[in-house]
Amino acid sequence: MSRALNFLALLLLALPLFGAAHAGEAAKPAIIIANPGTQCIAPPEEMRRNHMEMLKHQRDRTLRLGERSARVSLNGCIECHASKTSGAVTGSNENFCQACHAYAAVKLDCFDCHQPKAGHKAAVASGEPQ
């Protein structure tokens, strides 16, 4: 009995060591600064933690109440953060949204419906055919 307890205690002590060893394996996401010199709608710490809540509240206001050109906007995110090479925020692990979501293993559903590529916004706003 006491031997079993000793073994368990050893195992518990050793767990943090295993954890530390594994943490080094997943490469940190490489985030490219969107447009140096420009300012996001909130500091990075807040955006990292709360962007999903901001978007979730705004989507209902936009769709159900018709509130356009609000401060929080998914198209706004995309216009700034789309990759300079692919023009999108998803598609590869170097692209802005997917980089962190792949690292954090959080499924990204937005772009099943929303357009992940930048560059269409001006054409649509002016009513010109694309």
Q: Does 86 bind another protein (CB under 8 A)?
A: no
Q: How far is CA 68 from the centre of its chain?
A: 23
Per CB under 8 A, does 107 bind another protein?
A: no
Closest distance of CB 102 from another protein, Å: 19
Q: Running DSSP on this structure, what letter comes out for residue 120?
A: -
- CB atoms under 10 Å from CB of 116, counted, come to 21
| Rounded Cα–Cα distance for residues 42 and 31 (Å) | 17
Answer for which of 29, 41, 58, 59 binds another protein (CB under 8 A) is 59
Distance CA 22, CA 15 (A): 11
- Choose between 58 and 93: whose C-beta lies nearer to another protein: 58
Q: Please select the residue that binds another protein; options are 66, 84, 105, 107, rule is CB under 8 A.
A: 66
Q: Of residues 54, 78, 97, 99, which one binds another protein by CB under 8 A?
A: 78
